[in-house]
């Protein structure tokens, strides 16, 4: 039996492409990220992804692809998805991760608005919210954005290190 904390990570390419064993060596990460997936896709696969021994923590990072496709209404899906997830994994602490600040024209305001809504939905659903806006603003601005790859969306090694540090602190608190 492992003494490491278990963390189920659900989301898109930002989750899938993380080298979590290296980034979070003290955590048993179950990586269920799927590149290109939107919130609707994640919601549809919740039951199959949670058909495992209940992890202590679940982190959801989803919605980036929705925004990139012009869908700003995706937070409403969280309103129905979070109670379903809580029913599937009643022993797990559920955290919704904010969307990352993206360096694409027109998206910063949409990301901020989506994060505001996601935070409210998370709290209303009895879940926690991990806001990455502050850590990335402090360490990745000005617009040179060393935390992101050239596409302005995906994370660099530094971006993943910052995120992993925040996740580690969050699951300890």
- Which residue from 80, 23, 37, 88 is spatially nearest to 58, judged by alpha carbons? 88
For 5, 12, 71, the CA distances from 1, given in Å and listed in that order, are 11, 29, 43
Q: Specify the higher pLDDT residue, 54 or 11.
A: 11
pLDDT of 164 reads 97
Q: Is the pLDDT of residue 145 over 90?
A: no
Going by pLDDT thresholds of 50, 70 and 90, the confidence category of residue 149 is confident
Residue 81 near residue 42, CB atoms below 8 Å: yes
Residue 127, pLDDT above cutoff 80: yes
Whether pLDDT at 135 is above 90:
no
Q: Which domain holds residue 22?
A: 5-172
- Ranges assigned E (strand) in the chain: 5-11, 27-33, 57-61, 93-97, 128-130
CATH number at residue 109: 3.40.50.1110
pLDDT of res. 43? 96
Phi-psi region of 153 (alpha: psi -120 to 50; beta: other; left: phi over 0): alpha
Q: Which residue has the higher pLDDT, 107 or 163?
A: 163
Average pLDDT over residues 9-36: 97
Query: Residue 59 CB: number of other CB atoms within 10 A?
Result: 22
List of residues 6+ apart from 51 with CB closer than 8 A? none
At residue 1, the pLDDT reads 42
Work out how many domains the chain is built from and give that number: 1
The answer to whether 10 touches 61, Cβ cutoff 8 Å, is yes
Q: Name the least confident of 46-50, 78-82, 123-127.
A: 46-50
Of 103, 128, 97, 102, give the one whose Cα is nearest residue 115: 97
Give every strand in the sheet of 128-130, ordered side by side: 27-33, 5-11, 57-61, 93-97, 128-130
């Amino acid at each position: 039996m492992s003494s490491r904390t278990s963390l189920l990570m659900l989301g898109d390419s930002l989750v899938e492409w993380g080298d979590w064993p290296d980034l979070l060596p003290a955590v048993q990460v179950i990586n269920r990220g799927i590149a290109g997936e939107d919130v609707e896709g994640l919601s549809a696969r919740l039951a199959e992804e949670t058909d495992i021994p209940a992890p202590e923590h679940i982190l959801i990072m989803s919605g980036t692809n929705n925004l990139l496709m012009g869908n700003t209404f995706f937070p409403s899906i969280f309103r129905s998805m979070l109670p379903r997830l809580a029913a599937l994994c009643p022993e797990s602490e559920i955290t919704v991760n904010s969307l990352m600040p993206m360096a694409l024209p027109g998206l910063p305001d949409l990301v901020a608005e989506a994060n505001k809504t996601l935070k409210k939905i998370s709290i209303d659903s009895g879940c926690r919210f991990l806001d990455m806006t502050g850590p990335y603003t402090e360490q990745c601005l000005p617009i040179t954005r060393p935390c992101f790859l050239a596409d302005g969306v995906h994370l660099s090694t530094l971006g993943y290190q910052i995120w992993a540090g925040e996740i580690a602190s969050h699951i300890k608190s």
